[in-house]
Structure 1
Amino acid sequence: MSAPLFLVDALPSGDTATLGGAEGHHAATVQRLRVGEDLVLADGRGGTATAVVTAAGRGSLDLRIISRGYAEAPDPRLVVIQGIAKGDRGELAVQAMTEVGVDEIVPWAAVRSVVQWKGERGTRAHDKWVATAREAAKQARRPWLPTVAPPVSTREATVRATLVLHEEAETRLSTVDLPAAGEIALVVGPEGGIAPEELAAFESAGASLVRLGEQVLRTSTAGVAALSVLSARLGRW
């Protein structure tokens, strides 16, 4: 099993370090790492440091740095403009998309989104997506932490969208032309799908409608499936 990864604000500059706070508590108390075990520290921006535990305290670990590394940011970036979903479906989507390699998630207040992020409720919902992405990135041992952008309207979403998942599209995602650099921004609708006027707005802005296959997937799984196809085509997998 690969060494567990823990996210820190900044990597230690010296040969020794102490992992404390919430990450130290999780490492020492929850995962119960012991002297001699390895772990990886990551700053969420590509930088990593492999370390070995030299002492285990109450909610903290003393570490000796073994090696350092840096992973270049993926190019093109994979962005998913995710229709806001009710219940835990949005969080399920964020978790799975992070695990398979999404680089940015943009919550989209679609016409058919049952839940609208407004006021304090919207802030809490956004914070939950951010926390979900962070934990999923750790689980997947990702050196880059995906960004969860502020929620956008349809008008704002059309500015970035390049591909739109739709079950009636004629072009398959597996065959559409992909850019060699920059970003690929994929739109995933909410539970009720994308409204006709939204489809028209995306197409007018230059986005292409694409489909995965014959099946109609839930909003919590469509983005994951699409990212898998894109990751294979781009050589990430």
Structure 2
Amino acid sequence: MSSLFLRDDLATAPHEVGDVVLLSGDEARHATTVNRMRVGEHTAIGDGQGLVVSGVVTRVEPRELELRVEAVVVHPEPAPQLVLVQALAKGDRDELAVQTATELGVSGVVPWQAERSISRWSGPKVAKGIERWSSIVREAAKQSIRPFVPVVSGLADLAGLRALAAENRMLVLEPTAGVRLTEISFAEGAEAPVLLVVGPEGGISPHELDVLTAAGAQAVRLGDEVLRTSSAGPAALAVINAALGRW
């Protein structure tokens, strides 16, 4: 399978072996004009929630593509879920982090308005920012052929993160932490999601770190180097994936 396209309502449409699944709209246009899919080629269509059908293309039009289903797979949701809490950052550094984290398997993304975030979302920018990040994770999931499209949550502030820390396993990337991420144990199949918090360009403030650790979060560091906000989260996710045996 070299490509994946999304149809959100796939589960409610006929999708068993032998059925013909129609892909239309922008997804079909991308398949036919960008990927240049042709009759007789094999591809896959998913719903972004674990269901993926694959088969042979039987019809191609500018905004329509039909696939005769040859295989149906329902992927189980990974456990524990890995969630990236990404602080807003200037330029496209936060977007790059979100894109790469999606490719590396996160189940969710939480945009965070940190104290030291140079980029600020307010008013109409909040909805626009969430829509932008949602588009990024959708395209990254398709590119990496992931059966699940991560969910982008609403914009969080420190109070919101404190509540999440009290209810979940939260790890805060902090270069001064005494514990390395490689010293933390992870168990495949664990029910509690793992929330990985990444600060902005200027890092997480002492006040934010105190609040989160008091609520139950644990500060960890990657190594002696200080990574950019665009690379810290993906680097940590790679470590966790290896620890869980997913890589």
Q: Which residue among 89, 95, 101 is the counterpart of 2:93?
A: 89
Q: Distance in 1 between matches of 2:196 and 2:49?
A: 23
Calculate the TM-score normalised by the size of structure 2. Answer: 0.93
Q: Indicate the residue corresponding to 1:175 in structure 2.
A: 183
Q: Distance in 2 between matches of 1:223 and 1:51?
A: 35
Is the counterpart of residue 202 in structure 1 residue 218 in structure 2? no
Q: Indicate the residue corresponding to 2:14 in structure 1.
A: 13
Q: Indicate the residue corresponding to 2:26 in structure 1.
A: 22
**Unpaired runs of at least 5, structure 2:** none
Deviation at 1:60, TM superposition (A): 1.6
Deviations 1:197-217 (A, max 9, x none): 000001100111100001100
SS of 1:51 mapped into structure 2: strand
SS of 2:196 mapped into structure 1: strand
Q: Indicate the residue corresponding to 1:234 in structure 2.
A: 244
Q: Which residue among 214, 228, 233 is the counterpart of 1:218?
A: 228
Q: Distance in 1 between matches of 2:63 and 2:36?
A: 10
SS of 2:176 mapped into structure 1: coil
Deviation at 1:236, TM superposition (A): 1.4
Q: Indicate the residue corresponding to 1:129 in structure 2.
A: 133
Which is further off, 99-108 or 154-163?
A: 154-163
Kept after mapping to 1: 8 A contact 2:185/2:243: no
Deviation at 1:123, TM superposition (A): 1.6
Q: Distance in 1 between matches of 2:91 and 2:126?
A: 13
Show the 5 A alignment for 1:99-178.
Answer: 99-161=103-165, 162-178=170-186
RMSD of aligned Cα (Å): 1.1
Count of matched residue pairs: 236
Calculate the TM-score normalised by the size of structure 1. Answer: 0.96
Deviations 1:83-133 (A, max 9, x none): 111111111011100001111110011000111111112221211111000
Q: Between the two proteins, what is the percent identity of the paired residues?
A: 46
Kept after mapping to 1: 8 A contact 2:162/2:211: yes
SS of 1:92 mapped into structure 2: helix
SS of 2:5 mapped into structure 1: strand
AA aligned opposite 2:14: S
AA aligned opposite 2:158: T
Which is further off, 9-18 or 160-169?
A: 9-18
SS of 1:93 mapped into structure 2: helix
SS of 2:182 mapped into structure 1: coil
Q: Indicate the residue corresponding to 1:71 in structure 2.
A: 75
AA aligned opposite 2:121: W
SS of 1:223 mapped into structure 2: helix
Deviation at 1:150, TM superposition (A): 0.5
AA aligned opposite 2:148: W
AA aligned opposite 2:147: P
AA aligned opposite 1:178: F
SS of 2:57 mapped into structure 1: strand
Q: Distance in 2 between matches of 1:122 and 1:140?
A: 27
